Structure 1
Amino acid sequence: MDFDLEDLVNVEQTFYEDGYKDGYAHGRIHGLIEGRALGREKGFEMWEELGFYEGFALMWKAILDAQGAHDERTQNHIRHLLDLIAQFPRVNPSAAATASEAATAEPELDIPRLFRQIRSRYKLLCATLGVRPTLRAADGSSPSPDRPPSDDLADTEMENTPPTGTTRAKSERKKVWTVHDPRTDKPLGGTELSF
């Protein structure tokens, strides 16, 4: 009969090591799955914000070109904002890139720094145009692909309707867009646009 007495003495350590190996492998699999889901969600939020900034800049560039306005400062801010957005990476680098490819590639891009520069340039453009900036990341109301849209009627009181017994929202609904009638509204003192 051949057995190792050392295995009997360290039986707890053996079970601990086996459990650690199994747990590590299991955690790695779930970590990859959760990491991909979180990356997809954050990537969606970032590109939603960048798309807003790019559309904003292109819209104002078209408006200024159509009006023939040649404000050099505004054009400069628009041009710099579009250049910064063009620098933002559009492809996720592969995790399988070899060390030789990494050595020949350009230095790693600082994405948070570039994002701060884009936001700052957007704020400068808004200040130059006399428009109040809306920070897309701060409101947190943007839907992501995995999350259902928020309920706009969550804060609305409901009333019972007598014939059917169902509920409906009272008329004090939260307005999404304010509709202005140019014939009755007083001008706000901002830039008036005509298309």
Structure 2
Amino acid sequence: MAGGSGNDDLFESVFMTENRLFQEGYREGFEKGTQRGLRDGRRHGASHGATMSTEISFYYGFAIAWKCILQDNTDAKSRKRVKAVEALLHLVQKSPHENPQSPKLQEDMDKLRAKFRQVCSLLNVPADFKDYVKNSSGVTF
């Protein structure tokens, strides 16, 4: 019986080693996956935030430039355009871009994009933000 007991210990030792190595591998993989997930998440968040910031900054500059262009005109059509441009400026300034975790961020961005399209329609200029970014990417100072 002593020989059988030693044999059982040998199989138990092999099984326990396999189980221990499996647990160590799982733990190590989980830690590396968590680290990579955080790194990739930060990179994605920074990229998405930069894109959103570029878009908001563009709307702000667009509105300021058109407000300057239209400020001296006094006809009714120009007043309507200035009012729409000022509404766009107001939306840009009240958007919660300082708080990226705001639950209203996407809703505010949708409102901002809609107002931009409305202003572009009133001004008879292209309303696609991507066209402006694509055309200005080759500009150097």
Report the TM-score, using the length of structure 2 for normalisation. 0.71
Pairs aligned (count): 129
The 3-state SS of whatever aligns with 2:72 is helix
The 3-state SS of whatever aligns with 2:71 is helix
Report the TM-score, using the length of structure 1 for normalisation. 0.54
Is the alpha carbon distance of 1:93 and 1:63 closer, same or farther for their aligned partners in structure 2, counting shifts above 3 Å?
closer
Q: Which residue does the alignment assign to 1:9?
A: 15
Q: Which residue does the alignment assign to 1:110?
A: 104
Question: What one-letter code is carried by the residue in structure 1 that aligns with 2:80?
Answer: R
Q: Which residue does the alignment assign to 1:87?
A: 94
Is the alpha carbon distance of 1:11 and 1:81 closer, same or farther for their aligned partners in structure 2, counting shifts above 3 Å?
same
Q: Which residue does the alignment assign to 2:28?
A: 22
Is the alpha carbon distance of 1:10 and 1:55 closer, same or farther for their aligned partners in structure 2, counting shifts above 3 Å?
same
**Matches of 1:123 and 1:45, distance apart in 2:** 18
**Matches of 1:39 and 1:90, distance apart in 2:** 13
Question: What one-letter code is carried by the residue in structure 2 that aligns with 1:28?
Answer: T
- How far off its partner does 1:141 sit? 4.6
Q: Which residue does the alignment assign to 2:116?
A: 122
Structure number with the higher helix fraction is 2
Which has the higher Rg, Structure 1 or Structure 2?
Answer: 2
Question: What one-letter code is carried by the residue in structure 2 that aligns with 1:43?
Answer: G
What CA deviation, in whole Å up to 9, does each residue of 1:139-172 have, x standing for no partner? 88599xxxxx8xx8xxxxxxxxxxxxxxxxxxxx
What CA deviation, in whole Å up to 9, does each residue of 1:113-138 have, x standing for no partner? 221111110000011112222322x7
What CA deviation, in whole Å up to 9, does each residue of 1:1-58 have, x standing for no partner? xx8x866534433222211111111122222222222222221111111111111111
Identity of aligned residues (%): 26
Q: In 1, are the aligned partners of 2:73 and 2:79 still within 8 Å (CA)?
A: no
**Matches of 1:142 and 1:17, distance apart in 2:** 54
Q: Which residue does the alignment assign to 1:50?
A: 56
**Matches of 1:142 and 1:32, distance apart in 2:** 34
Match 1:75 to one of 82, 91, 95: 82
**Matches of 2:92 and 2:31, distance apart in 1:** 39
The 3-state SS of whatever aligns with 1:67 is coil
Q: Which residue does the alignment assign to 1:103?
A: none
Q: How does 1:23-38 map to 2 (within 5 A)?
A: 23-38=29-44
Structure 2: gaps spanning 5 or more residues: 1-8
- How far off its partner does 1:64 sit? 1.3
Task: Determine whether 1:41 maps to 2:35.
Answer: no
Across the aligned residues of Structure 1 and Structure 2, the Cα RMSD in angstroms comes to: 3.2
